[in-house]
Structures are given as C-alpha cells and as structure tokens.
Structure 1
Amino acid sequence: MEPITVVGIGADGWTGLTAPARNAVAGAEVVIGSTRQLALLPDGGATRVTWPSPLLPAVEPLLTEHAGRQVCVLASGDPMFFGIGGTLVRLLGASRVRVHPHVSSASLACARLGWPAEDVDVVNLVGRPVSSLIPLPHRRMLVLSAGADTPAEVAALLTDRGFGPTAMTVLDDLGGPDERRHDGTAATWSGAAGSLNVVALDCRAAPGVTPLGRTPGLPDDAYDHDGQLTKREVRAITLAALAPLPGQLLWDVGAGAGSIAIEWLRTHPSCAAVAVESRPERAAGIHRNAGLLGVPGLRVVEGRAPAALADLPRPDAVFVGGGLTGDGVVEACWAALRTGGRLVANAVTLESEAVLTRWHAALGGTLTRIEVSRAAPVGGFTAWKPMMPVTQWVVTREETS
C-alpha cells in the first residue's frame, strides 16, 4: 500500500500551506477531508472524498477502497495534535504515514492571547461530552470546541460548578481572514460563536467555593451514594496502594458509588477504568457521579463478578471493594492481572477478612489494618467516633503463570 500523506491546513487555506504541503496535495490522486477543508483547495484533477459522519469507523474502509493510489488526507492545523494523524499512525504504523503539519489552533490561540503554551492546559471536546472538562482555579485552559454550541455549554458547566467568574475568550476562525474574538465571563456569557472556534479560559472560582482537587480523597459528600462508599481517608490510602500511572487500566470490582474508579481517572486524562457493579441503582449512580466529577468516560458494567469480568480487557490494577466472599472473584481478578500489576482488596467483615488472610498466605503481599476516627458531638461536648476498621491486602503480580 502506498504511504498516506496527511496535510494540516488552517483557516488561511491554500495560501497558508508550505511548498512541500502544496506539492503533496497537488500530487495526490485522492484527497480526503471535510467539506470545509476541501473547499479551501484550488481546482485540481484529484478525486475528492468527504469524510462521512461518524468519521472514525469510516477511516479503514476508505483507505481500503483507495488502496494502491496516492492518497492525501486533510487535517485541521497540526494533524498530530488531537487530529487524524494520530489515528492513521495507530492504524497503519508511523512508517506508512507522512505528515505535513500546520500551526495548531492551540498555538495560534496562545499567540493571540500572549499565553506561554507550556503554562496552558488543553482539553479536546471534539466527540467528547462537555462534562469531561475539569476546571482548576488559577489555571489557564484552551478548549478545542466541537462546534458553535460548545462555548455556551462550557459557560453553563463552569457556572454550575462554581466557576462563574472565569474569564472566557472565544476565538473564531483562527488564522483566517474572518478571525474574530469574543470576551466575557462564564456567568454572563451570551456571545455568539462560529463553528470553528477555540475557547480560552482563565479559571476563577466564585467566593466561598472550595474547588475539588485531582489528588485522591475527595470529600464524601462529592458523591451521590446510598452508604456503599469507600470513605475519604480509606479511599486516599487505597488509591496510593493502587498507584495509578498514565495510560493504565483499573478494574473497580463491587464498585458501589464508583469512587475508586472515578478518582483513579481523575489522576491523569489517559487513565482508563471499568466499574463493575451488580445492583442497577448503584450502577446508575456511578454514571451520575462520573459525569459530575469530570470523568464521563468511565465504563460501567452492570453484573456480578466473576461472570461480569469475562470479556473485559486485562487490567493493570484491580480493586475489590465488594463481593470478596463470592466464589471465584479473587481468582478471576488475579488471573486477569497483568505482570507487574497491583491487586488491592478492602475487607470490613470477619468473613471477608478471612478471605484476605487466606490469599495473603498463598500469594504474599502486605496486610494493613486501617482505623480512622472522626470528631463528632457527644451531648454538649466533642469526642472521637471510630469508623469501622478496614483490613487492606495489597499484592503485586510478579509472574505471568
């Protein structure tokens, strides 16, 4: 198969392309792009193909259809920055993709605003729900919009989460002849926006609002739950034992309110998690919590372990918070765990503690008793009120057998 050429093109169109990029487009037999991108090109003899919607399922069939021909794919700005270039490299391999990048919309936005790029967080909302935006106080963020409605949706989310004072700037058609700028705040936003825009945020929390951090141990009242919740102090200890790393996958088995999986995901945007919960009302609550806490991509599997685990991708870490006494639960989790992966299980009953003791004797690891007390009123005084002690087993899988 001929190598695929990917050309980044900006709102300035053909005139903004480098000579090598123009030659790549001119020499192609097939040019694939959006309707807007194709309209930026001068007339030529190549076959022009418009991406269908949804785009991703169509990539491989289109490339197969035009195999053996010189294909050029158009991309907005830098194809390797949240663009089609990365998709093609994952599909075909780097040796079969040639990329001619343009200046990214994020770089153009930083240039217009005078923001050092290394101090700015970038969030892509193309094909992602707006609830995946997690505002952080005194941080600058660039939001890559899905369309003209995105700025208003972002403003509504920020206001709802206590970030109404956030300064918002919407930059339309960056780099093109029709470039425009709209300024305001999230709480008062009423500005119009074009279909091709970037939203710049200088995040500010409203007075009296205590923003949620990304570190494990969110307040218990951040969750909608029926009491089946790993409490804040134990949750922080549990996440420390699970030791999330970028790109890793967690199974949260017997997830309850989903707090372990949710806080795993909040540690880094590339982390993934599956929450397994047998009770439908709790599974629905996990979905709600994930959306409210900025990780709507959490996969929720409604079912009982170990059967519900059968078709899941292999995890890098497993947390068992419920169902420890069920037949085959620990066995299935241990068998699926990748080499070097961590299994953490918490027990609060004597029966589940006995299960951990047996597995500790068989596989090793560490056993820890966690006891936490919180101050609470007793009559007119204050005293320590102990929470139920938790026994935690942590073990690392050293072998694949």
Structure 2
Amino acid sequence: MPHKIFLIGIGPDGITEQAAALLDRCPCVVASSRHRHLVPDGKEIIAITPVQQTLALVAERLQNGPVAVLASGDPLFFGIGRTLLQTVGPQQLEILPALSSMQLAFSRFKEPWDDARFVSLHGREAEHVLPLILPHDKVLVFTDRDNSPNALCARLLACFTAVDDAETPARYEVMVAENLGQENERLSSGSLAEIAEKRFNDLNVVILKRRPGPAAFPFGLESTALTHSRGLITKDEIRAVTLHTLQLPKQGVLWDVGAGSGSISVEATRLCPKLMVYAVEKKPEEQANIKANIRAYGCHTIKLVPGEAPALLAGLPDPDRVFIGGSGGNLAEIIATAARRLRPGGSMVANAVLPQTASAAPDLMRDHGLSVDARTIRVTKIEEKHNEELSPITIIRGRK
C-alpha cells in the first residue's frame, strides 16, 4: 500500500496534537518559510514552491515513507489541496484543516459570510481584477503584492470616476485584516478612498461590502429605460436576437464597436457580469449616454473607449466576441482587424440596416477565413391602436 500524504492546516494557534502526532511519523515535510519552525528537528524539509518541482520530490519521498505538507488554514480553500487532489488523488491524501484566514477575518469584523463570494487575486493581471469583484455585494479577496488593498480600492475608484459615478463608491465599506492570528494583527476599515490612501502588510485579506442597489432583472431592458439620442438605439427585439447570436461566454472579452448608447454592452454585462466589455464609440454625445447607462445599471465592468475604430482596437485585449453596431465607413478595416485578433473559437456579429452592408459584410468575413451565417429580422410592433413596421435588419455572424 503506498504511503500517504498528510495535508495539515496551520491555524492561529499553531499545530494541533493530532497533527503533531502525524508529523512525527513523516521523515519528510513540505513547508513554507512561515511554517518551518513547526517542523521537528531531524526532518527533511522541502520548500512548498516551486510547486511542480515540489510535487516531483514528494513523489520520490513517498517511496520511503509518508510525507507531511503544511499549509495555512484550510488547504482546500484557495490552497495547495486542490493541486494535490488533482495530482495524487484523494485515496493517497489525509487532510486536517484548520481555521482559514477567511473565517478569521469575518469573525474579527463580526460579519456573516454565508452570503459572500470569494476571490483570489494571486498572480492576476490588473485588467482581470474588477470583473471578479464588481458583480458581488459582499466579497472576500485574497490579495497579493501587486493587487494590494490600497491598489484594489484605487482601481475601483478609478472605474467609478471614469463614468462620473459618485453614488456607487459611497455604498462601499472596506475591511482589511492583516497578520491574522499573529501578535502584530491589525484590523482596518473605511471607505474606498480611505483605504486607497493607506499601506498594508503583504499578509492580508480584504472584505468588500456594498449596499445593494435597486433590484433589476438580468435581461430585457426596454429602449425607454436606456439613455439614448434621437431614437438611435438597437431596438429591443433586434438586441435580443443579437445577444442570442453572440452566444456570450461567462468570462472573456467583448468588443462593442460603434457602441452608440451602449445598449448591447449593458445587456451583455448584465447577462455575463464577469465579461470584460470594451465599448468603442467616437461621438461625444453617445459617450455621455454610455456613461449614463453604466451608472444607471451598475455595469462598471464596461470600459468606454472614446474614439474611432479600427485605430483604437490595437490597444484592446484580443476578443472572444465582437459586435459591430456601426462602422463609420470603416467596415472592411474593422472586420479585417477583428478577424485577425479574434481568439480561436470566437465570433463576430455585425448588424446591417443598409442593403450594401448586408451584402458586403458576409464576403468580408469569408475573405478573412470565417465561416458565415446570416438572418434578416423583420419586426412588427403591435400596439393597442396601431401597428409599427420596423426596418428589416440583417444580422451577420462570422465564426473563427
């Protein structure tokens, strides 16, 4: 029978008697620098990182006896437990969890956590952080040196300031717990602006708590509920079919080119809150409309990109989906750029009002190696006293 790995969680009170007894049985112990003092003399100590190298050494040592792995708190909560389960399997593991820093933080601030979400920012690039945070009213965040509490709060403030939103920041309370369970433990709380001005020890967790805004359904905004100019908005029925055709992923990048009022961006964000949406729009009046709609519906993961495509597309991350609502006469160039940058398995959708656009767009997409399908939608709105025939719209999709 193969030897076992004892995965031992270390809590604020150190190591338990049961864990100590298991540790005594193991000639080899995996531990970080924080936990090395807990290892009895005479044991071989393997550093916990780099993980792949450590796993290879553990596999060798298991030939000679059991191995102990020391980890903070609950090893299955954003810890090495998942990696070990995937690598060696559950049969070879015995797990002894301790209190996690998450539980300690919520207890210190006397805050229930059964309604919270949990996010780890370890190794995350800055542009991927906000879509993980903004959809939730209560979230505990495991930070790292680059994604520190003050940096996180500064990014949130910049996001709200970009759309002239002074109301949403006032709904946030931020709680920071440093060095939990240690003599130099420190608890801080304040507004986004207050925490953004402070500095913190690297060993911390953050709780972001936001007073809920008005409850709203996730899909189906009517045009009258969106700020727009002179009726220049993707009509409700066309918007519904467009979003269906886009087949949005839960996470990823959407370019909304010629975003107009931002109706597609807003509905996409409400459907998929973790999607990174870039609304490209050149008209100042429409840019103001987009900001207003972001504020109204709390869609702060939308990034307004003021200016004209395709030039501005060079600075955006590669998209999983592209919607072309307007091209400003640059349809060929926009499709060429989008097709080149589109990630494998991605798709672009263009809505055409004019017959020449409906004819040109499919050929342009095929020229760049996309498989194309299209549909023309004719909508008759039936009111109590009259019917309204809307102009037909052709929705063209190209898949990579």
**Shorter-chain TM band:** 0.5 to 0.7
Alignment of 1:46 onto 2:38 = no
Deviation digits for residues 65-104 of structure 1 (CA, Å, limit 9, x no counterpart): 3324233222221111122111222333333433222222
Instruction: Give the match's secondary structure for 2:193.
Output: coil
Give me the whole-angstrom Cα distance separating, in 1, the residues matched to 2:71 and 2:155: 29
Give me the whole-angstrom Cα distance separating, in 2, the residues matched to 1:153 and 1:98: 38
In structure 1, what residue type is equivalent to 2:377?
A: R
Distance 1:130 1:171, change over 3 A: farther
Instruction: Give the match's secondary structure for 1:107.
Output: helix
Give me the whole-angstrom Cα distance separating, in 2, the residues matched to 1:95 and 1:257: 55
Give me the whole-angstrom Cα distance separating, in 2, the residues matched to 1:12 and 1:303: 61
Question: For 1:96-135, what aligned pairs fall within 5 Å after superposition?
Answer: 96-131=92-127, 132-134=129-131
Which residue pairs with 2:243 in the alignment?
239
Question: For 1:183-332, what aligned pairs fall within 5 Å after superposition?
Answer: 183-189=189-195, 190-203=197-210, 215=218, 237-241=241-245, 281-286=312-317, 312=344, 318-321=346-349
Do 1:250 and 1:261's aligned partners in 2 also have CA atoms closer than 8 Å?
A: no
Do 1:11 and 1:176's aligned partners in 2 also have CA atoms closer than 8 Å?
A: yes
Question: For 1:15-30, what aligned pairs fall within 5 Å after superposition?
Answer: 17=16, 19=18, 21-30=19-28
Distance 1:392 1:287, change over 3 A: closer
Give me the whole-angstrom Cα distance separating, in 2, the residues matched to 1:251 and 1:155: 23
Larger Rg: 2
Q: CA deviation at 1:152?
A: 0.9
Do 1:2 and 1:67's aligned partners in 2 also have CA atoms closer than 8 Å?
A: no
Instruction: Give the match's secondary structure for 2:207.
Output: strand
Give me the whole-angstrom Cα distance separating, in 2, the residues matched to 1:3 and 1:272: 43
Give the ranges of 4+ consecutive aligned residues of structure 1 lying more than 6 Å apart after TM superposition: 249-252, 257-266, 269-273, 302-309, 370-373
Which residue pairs with 2:359 in the alignment?
351
Which residue pairs with 1:172 in the alignment?
178
Do 1:368 and 1:392's aligned partners in 2 also have CA atoms closer than 8 Å?
A: yes
Give me the whole-angstrom Cα distance separating, in 2, the residues matched to 1:124 and 1:110: 16
In structure 2, what residue type is equivalent to 1:61?
A: Q
In structure 2, what residue type is equivalent to 1:44?
A: D
Q: CA deviation at 1:265?
A: 8.2
Distance 1:251 1:157, change over 3 A: closer
Do 1:6 and 1:85's aligned partners in 2 also have CA atoms closer than 8 Å?
A: yes
TM-score, normalised via structure 1 length? 0.58
In structure 2, what residue type is equivalent to 1:45?
A: G
In structure 2, what residue type is equivalent to 1:157?
A: R
Which of 82, 86, 103 lines up with 2:82 in the alignment?
86
Do 2:362 and 2:396's aligned partners in 1 also have CA atoms closer than 8 Å?
A: no
Q: CA deviation at 1:171?
A: 0.9
Any stretches of 5+ residues in structure 1 without a counterpart?
53-57, 219-229, 291-301, 323-345, 374-385, 396-401
Deviation digits for residues 165-215 of structure 1 (CA, Å, limit 9, x no counterpart): 32222111223343221122111233442221111222259xxxx99x995
Instruction: Give the match's secondary structure for 1:111.
Output: helix
TM-score, normalised via structure 2 length? 0.58
Which residue pairs with 2:56 in the alignment?
64
Question: For 1:338-377, what aligned pairs fall within 5 Å after superposition?
Answer: 349-351=357-359, 367=375, 369=377
Which of 139, 154, 168 lines up with 1:156 in the alignment?
154
Distance 1:306 1:319, change over 3 A: closer
Which residue pairs with 1:4 in the alignment?
5
In structure 2, what residue type is equivalent to 1:48?
A: I
Distance 1:394 1:306, change over 3 A: closer
Do 1:171 and 1:179's aligned partners in 2 also have CA atoms closer than 8 Å?
A: yes
Q: CA deviation at 1:269?
A: 7.9
Give me the whole-angstrom Cα distance separating, in 2, the residues matched to 1:91 and 1:261: 40
Aligned pair count reads 313
Identity rate, percent: 29
Any stretches of 5+ residues in structure 2 without a counterpart?
161-165, 222-232, 278-308, 322-334, 382-388
RMSD value, Cα? 5.3
Instruction: Give the match's secondary structure for 1:36.
Output: coil
